Amino acid sequence: MLEVTKARAYWQLARFDRPIGSLLLLWPTLWALFLAADGWPSPHVLVVFVLGVIFMRAAGCVINDFADRNFDGHVKRTCQRPMPSGKVSEREALGLFGLLVL
Tell me the pTM: 0.90
Residues 1-9: what's their mean pLDDT? 88
Give 2's pLDDT tier (boundaries 50, 70, 90): confident
Higher-pLDDT residue of 2, 60: 60
- pLDDT of 81 over the 80 cut: yes
**pLDDT band of 10, cuts 50, 70, 90:** very high
Whether residue 1 is predicted with pLDDT greater than 70 in this model: the reply is: no
Distances (CA, A) of 33 to 47, 49, 50, 60: 11, 9, 10, 22
CB 39 within 8 A of CB 32: no
Backbone phi, psi, residue 18, to 5°: -130, 80
| Residue 4: per-residue pLDDT | 93
**Torsions phi, psi for 19 (to 5 deg):** -75, -5
Per-residue pLDDT tens over the stretch 20-72: 999 999 999 999 999 999 999 999 999 999 999 999 999 999 999 999 999 99
